Amino acid sequence: MRTYAIGDIHGQLGLLKQAHARIARDEAARGGVSQLVHVGDLLDRGPDSRGVIDYLMQGQAEGRPWIVLKGNHDRFLPRFAAEPGWIDAGLASGRHWLDHEKLGAAETLASYGIDLRDHAGTHAAVLDRVPQAHLRWLEALPLWHLTPRALFVHAGIRPGVDLARQTEQDLVWIRKGFLDDARDHGPLVVHGHTVVERVTHFGNRLAIDTGAGHGGPLSVVVFDETGLHLLTDEGRRPLAAA
Question: For the segment 183-198, what is each residue's pLDDT rounded down to a tens digit?
Answer: 999 999 999 999 999 9
Q: Quick one: pLDDT at residue 115?
A: 95
Q: What are phi and psi of 57, to 5 degrees?
A: -65, -40
Q: Is the model's pLDDT at 144 over the cut of 90? A: yes
What would the pLDDT profile of 56-113 be if each residue is shown by its tens digit?
999 999 999 999 999 999 999 999 999 999 999 999 999 999 999 899 999 999 999 9
Q: Is the model's pLDDT at 242 over the cut of 90? A: no
66 within 8 A of 30, measured Cβ to Cβ = no
Over range 12-35, report the average pLDDT.
Answer: 96
- SS3 of residue 169 by DSSP: helix
Distance CA 105, CA 120 (A): 15
Q: Is the model's pLDDT at 212 over the cut of 90? A: yes
* pTM metric for this prediction: 0.97
Domains of the chain from N-terminus onward: 2-238 (3.60.21.10)
Handedness of CA 235, 192, 131, 133 (dihedral sign): positive
76 within 8 A of 103, measured Cβ to Cβ = yes
Over range 192-208, report the average pLDDT.
Answer: 98
Distance CA 152, CA 69 (A): 8
Q: Quick one: pLDDT at residue 74?
A: 98
Q: Quick one: pLDDT at residue 121?
A: 97
Provide the CA 133 distance to its chain's centre, in angstroms: 19
Element (H, E) at 171: helix 168-173
Give the Cβ contact number of residue 71 at 10 Å. 30
Give the Cβ contact number of residue 171 at 10 Å. 25
| Percent of the chain surpassing pLDDT 90 | 97
